[in-house]
């Protein structure tokens, strides 16, 4: 176990309701997408040695935890989220020895390592699945196998057990001629869902998790972990199956029904997570668990992350990154700031008394936030809006997650051709929506991909302005697996790490502030001006036994000048510049511009575009 190199929150301050306070209560997590982070052997793919080589950069940024997207052995159908061997490293990324070295070197710097855990499904090339294709094998019931619909020819359209669609397009059922049945896959057909109803499946998963913790990792980020409990009727039939007592939902515009209401947060979800906690984590110290939680409400987040219930430490909720579209992600809409504020308020209020929340705007599945909700049209607006968005997120209560390159203000890829994309979801969605179901025009779909494709976050990390952005050598024998963003010449780490006005420098200050100030990490959160269409404002407060401490956060999240909302003005003392006034420069805790500009904004009542600051009240 490694000890983070920062001040712990005193136990006189309540965080998630546990005693003592968990070490991660004022931590910041940095997500690494290994294939796009750093290539050391010139094959065009990032690797574990590359991550180890950049630990100095990550330590300088100040992060406490590295979350690695999957590096297990995999056919790479979904970039490693289709695992064929949980106890080995894919040669694309290196070896187990490389992983051991990364863990050891990170621990020397006080940085913890959290691995991605993908156990809702495996690869169809996993030994468990291959064995399950034989109905007489002990693994026969390790996946969701079902016969063809009665009266239909197996393997033909309409013979699927029900009408569920895959999140990656097409049917959620794939026929296997060897077994003569269909298997369920909520994602790619090469990602069959594990049957968590089978205790042997759960035991095998827990054994594997213990193996990794014994090897030195510090916890897991659990991919779609809230999909592991499916809803079945009294006879074990899924909704919509022949003879099922549970009716399916209507078919949607693409020709399939939605499995999510029957697979997300199922009836045994709490039971499975509590069992995992007992079998894997009880008796261990220094670990962290975070679950990717599609279908989970803020109220359920409170229950699952309440330490008294012994499930998970925190969850990723998705309403705030799912709402800004017309029904499907490929039809994006401009940001509705009051709607975003309502969602974030629900997240914050749900864990006011117990439990915890994970804070994020971007990850490997989301577009770059500065292109999504900011303004990347000019260098000035990109830097300003990247800082404004970072300040807004990091001043909430919870544990912030920084996705690689976010700290540089990296932007969307702005691809213009379908041939430039690599993402399975994006390519399948284009085929399904444009070519097969014909529910979206090619022009509209290309615009949707440019705005929301997962590949926007997966272009190589921009280390410098060289040909391949320092991700791999300029004369490497292989080009990067996906194109480098041309704006590497102006957006890169080499240009930012020593620039005190850079996005990188601003992230360093935000991270240090969370480490040093318990109000930021654990203080109460009170929204202000919830209906203001431009300004995001809230107050933080904490009584730590030595008195009350209050912080005011104000951010103009728009391209236009904005007035200070009345709710904010009401909190300010009469205007003046005494040392006791928040209008004094020494009351400014952090600002996207200069402290003097923040004071001017408070005194005048006007904010310039993308201006934000935090002041002590």
Q: Which residues are catalytic?
A: 223, 292
> Partners of 556 in the beta sheet?
535
Continuous segment of H or E residues that includes residue 401: strand 399-403
Q: How far is CA 486 from CA 363, 459, 483, 502, in A?
A: 21, 10, 9, 19
- In the block, tokens 């012994």 appear at 310
- In the block, tokens 């972990």 appear at 225
Instruction: Give the separation between CA 148 and CA 330, rounded to whole angstroms.
Output: 32
Q: Can you state the angle between helices 269-276 and 298-305, rounded to 10 degrees?
A: 30
> Partners of 219 in the beta sheet?
288
- How far, in whole angstroms, is CA 276 from its chain's centroid? 22
- How far, in whole angstroms, is CA 152 from its chain's centroid? 41
* DSSP-assigned letter for residue 291: E
Q: Give yes or no for a cis peptide into 511 (omega within 30° of 0).
A: no
Continuous segment of H or E residues that includes residue 399: strand 399-403
Closest CA to 80 of 554, 422, 342, 442: 422
Sign of CA dihedral 475, 476, 479, 483: negative
Cβ proximity of 459 and 360 under 8 Å: no
Q: Give yes or no for a cis peptide into 20 (omega within 30° of 0).
A: yes
Cβ proximity of 136 and 142 under 8 Å: no
Maximum separation of any 2 CA atoms in the chain, in Å: 84
Cβ proximity of 32 and 51 under 8 Å: yes
- How far, in whole angstroms, is CA 578 from its chain's centroid? 43
Instruction: Give the separation between CA 492 and CA 390, rounded to whole angstroms.
Output: 18
* Cβ atoms within 10 Å, residue 412: 21
Cβ proximity of 551 and 617 under 8 Å: yes
Closest CA to 544 of 149, 14, 137: 14
For the stretch 227-243, what's the b/e string if a residue is b when 16 or more beta carbons lie within 10 angstroms of its beta carbon? bbbbbbeeeebbbbbee
- In the block, tokens 């990656």 appear at 168
Question: Residue 101, class by beta-carbon neighbours within 10 Å (0-12 exposed, 13-18 middle, 19+ buried)?
Answer: middle
The 3-state DSSP class for residue 258 equals: coil
Tokens of 288: 């962290």
Cβ proximity of 13 and 21 under 8 Å: yes
Cβ proximity of 491 and 456 under 8 Å: no
Backbone angles phi, psi at 561, to 5 degrees: -60, 155
Tokens of 47: 């690797």
Q: How many residues does the chain have?
A: 617
């Amino acid at each position: 176990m490694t000890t983070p190199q920062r001040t712990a929150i005193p136990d006189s301050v309540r965080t998630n309701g546990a005693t003592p306070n968990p070490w991660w209560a004022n931590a910041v997590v940095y997500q690494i997408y290994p294939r796009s982070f750093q290539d050391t052997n010139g094959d065009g793919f990032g690797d574990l040695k590359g991550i180890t080589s950049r630990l100095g950069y990550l330590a300088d940024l100040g992060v406490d935890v590295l979350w690695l997207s999957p590096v297990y052995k995999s056919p790479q159908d979904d970039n490693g989220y289709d695992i064929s061997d949980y106890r080995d490293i894919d040669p694309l990324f290196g070896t187990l020895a490389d992983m051991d070295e990364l863990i050891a070197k990170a621990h020397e710097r006080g940085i913890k390592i959290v691995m991605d855990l993908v156990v809702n499904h495996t690869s169809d090339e996993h030994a468990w699945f291959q064995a399950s294709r034989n109905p007489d094998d002990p693994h026969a019931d390790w996946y969701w196998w079902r016969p063809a619909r009665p009266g239909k020819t197996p393997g033909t359209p309409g013979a699927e057990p029900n009408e569920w669609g895959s999140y990656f397009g097409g049917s959620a059922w794939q026929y296997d001629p060897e077994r003569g049945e269909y298997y369920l896959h909520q994602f790619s057909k090469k990602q069959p869902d594990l049957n968590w109803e089978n205790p042997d499946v759960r035991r095998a998963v827990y054994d594997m998790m213990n193996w990794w913790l014994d090897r030195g990792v510090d916890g897991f980020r659990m991919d779609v972990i809230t999909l592991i409990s499916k809803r079945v009727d009294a006879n074990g039939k899924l909704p919509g199956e022949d003879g099922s007592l549970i009716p399916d939902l209507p078919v949607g515009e693409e020709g399939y029904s939605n499995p999510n209401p029957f697979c997300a947060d199922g009836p045994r979800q709490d039971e499975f997570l509590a069992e995992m906690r007992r079998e894997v984590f009880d008796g261990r110290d220094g670990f962290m668990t975070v679950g990717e939680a599609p279908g989970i409400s803020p109220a359920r987040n409170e229950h699952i992350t309440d330490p008294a219930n012994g499930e998970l430490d925190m969850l990723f909720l998705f309403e705030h990154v799912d709402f800004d579209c017309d029904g499907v992600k490929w039809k994006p809409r401009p940001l509705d700031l009051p709607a975003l504020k309502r969602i974030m308020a629900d997240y914050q209020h749900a864990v006011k008394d117990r439990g915890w929340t994970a804070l994020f705007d971007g990850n490997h599945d989301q577009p770059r936030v500065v292109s999504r909700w900011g303004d990347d049209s000019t260098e000035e607006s990109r830097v300003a809006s990247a800082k404004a968005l970072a300040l807004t997120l990091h001043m909430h209560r919870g544990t912030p997650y920084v996705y690689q390159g976010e700290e540089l203000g990296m932007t969307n890829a702005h691809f213009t051709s379908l041939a430039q994309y690599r993402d399975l979801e994006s390519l399948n969605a284009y085929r399904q929506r444009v070519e097969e179901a014909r529910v979206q025009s090619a022009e509209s779909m290309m615009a949707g991909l440019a705005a929301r494709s997962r590949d926007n976050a997966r272009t190589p990390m921009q280390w410098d302005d060289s040909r391949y952005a320092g991700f791999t050598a300029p004369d490497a024998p292989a080009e990067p697996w996906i194109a480098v963003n041309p704006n590497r010449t102006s957006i890169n780490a080499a240009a930012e790490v020593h620039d005190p006005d850079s996005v990188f420098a601003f992230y360093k200050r935000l991270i240090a502030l969370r480490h040093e100030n318990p109000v930021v990490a654990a203080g109460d959160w009170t929204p202000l001006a919830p209906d203001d269409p431009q300004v995001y404002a809230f107050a933080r407060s904490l009584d730590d036994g030595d008195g009350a401490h209050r912080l005011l956060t104000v951010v103009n999240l728009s391209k236009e000048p904005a007035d200070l909302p009345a709710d904010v003005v009401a909190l300010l003392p009469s205007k003046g510049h005494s040392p006791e006034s928040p209008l004094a420069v020494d009351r400014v805790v952090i600002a996207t511009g200069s402290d003097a500009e923040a004071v001017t904004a408070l005194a005048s009542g006007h904010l310039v575009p993308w201006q934000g600051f935090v002041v002590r009240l």
